[in-house]
């Protein structure tokens, strides 16, 4: 799930990423701000979901994917759209 919070006086948007993947041990996001080398680690909550909040620039578009347990790439079901990637799959897209 993605929740966007826009601020009238700020040039960024606070975005909350949540993924319900109870069987997982770890979840990371790759690709935000076009950074596919460094991940953002989601924290496990008591209910078993993983989440994090990130400030992203307004009027931008970001391709990203979740990496679950350092082995499985997963797309965001609530993403604004999906686009093909060079590896034969799709990336999730968020537009701010």
Number of domains in the chain: 1
Where does the pLDDT of residue 11 fall: very low under 50, low under 70, confident under 90, or very high at 90 and above? very high
Please state whether the predicted TM-score (pTM) of the whole model is above 0.85.
yes
**In the predicted model, what is the mean pLDDT of the chain?**
95
The whole-angstrom separation of Cα 33 and Cα 31 is: 6
90 and 75 in contact (C-beta within 8 Å)? yes
**CA-based angle 20:26:30, to the nearest 5?**
90
* pLDDT per residue as tens digits for the range 15-47: 999 999 778 999 999 999 999 999 999 999 998
Contact call for residues 50 and 42 (beta carbons, < 8 A)? yes
User: Which pLDDT belongs to residue 50?
Assistant: 96
- CATH number of residue 17's parent domain: 2.60.40.10
Is residue 34 helix, strand or coil? helix
Return the pLDDT at 22.
Answer: 76
Residue 89 belongs to domain spanning: 2-95
pLDDT score recorded for residue 67: 97
């Amino acid at each position: 799930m993605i929740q966007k919070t826009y601020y009238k006086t700020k040039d960024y948007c606070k975005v909350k990423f949540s993924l319900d993947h109870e069987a997982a041990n770890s979840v990371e996001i790759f690709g935000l701000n076009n950074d596919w080398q460094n991940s953002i680690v989601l924290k496990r909550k008591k209910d078993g979901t993983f989440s994090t909040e990130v400030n992203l620039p307004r009027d931008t578009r970001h391709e990203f994917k979740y990496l679950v347990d350092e082995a499985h790439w997963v797309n965001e079901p609530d993403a604004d759209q999906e686009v093909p990637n060079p590896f034969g799959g799709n990336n999730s897209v968020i537009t701010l």
